[in-house]
Structure 1
Amino acid sequence: MIPQNYQQWRHCIVNECRIELTPLYIQQRLQVLNDKSHQETKRLTFLYGKTHLEKLITWFNAAACEALTAAPGKAAPGFH
């Protein structure tokens, strides 16, 4: 299933894939996703389209905001 909104995406990343959305991970992903010349970004755009790429960037930015507002030493909402 391809997530259609932030809640679905976050659930997929955190619960299904067991990836912790740390500030460093988010920063690394945004760096790649915002680089239109990066091979991974080109492939993602080819497979899923520009609209999905834009959604991913928006969702990673939202996750970054949540990570910044999490209390020190605690995971942002959705971390298990």
Structure 2
Amino acid sequence: MKPPIVPCSYDEWKHCITVLCRIPLTPRYVDARIAALADPRDYGTQRFIETWGEAHLDNVRGWFNQARAELAAGGIA
């Protein structure tokens, strides 16, 4: 079974980032994405909102913050 196109949970999102996209969730990457997604003037953030909407942006911000907390607690599996 294929995962959904738009992740609905932290685990689905993490799978999309780390497995499907092969992007390691490093502290540097996570912090950069949190900063960019918090900036409404950031072009990438504006495009994200146009494509996926504010509600999904809120989810993704929360998931990046959850990833940051996991990293601070000893890493991401």
| TM-score for both structures, normalised by structure 1 | 0.87
Aligned residues: 73
The structure showing larger relative contact order (alpha-carbon pairs under 8 Å, at least 6 residues apart) is 1
Note the alpha carbon deviations across 1:9-60, whole angstroms, 9 max, x for none: 0011111111100000000000100001111101100111000100010000
Unaligned runs of 5+ in 1: none
Alignment of 1:1-80 (within 5 A): 1-70=5-74, 75-77=75-77
The Cα shift of 1:76 comes to 1.6
Identity within the alignment, %:
36
TM superposition outliers: structure 1 runs of 4+ over 3 Å:
none
Alpha-carbon distance in structure 2 between the residues aligned to 1:21 and 1:64? 9
Alpha-carbon distance in structure 2 between the residues aligned to 1:76 and 1:9? 13
Unaligned runs of 5+ in 2: none
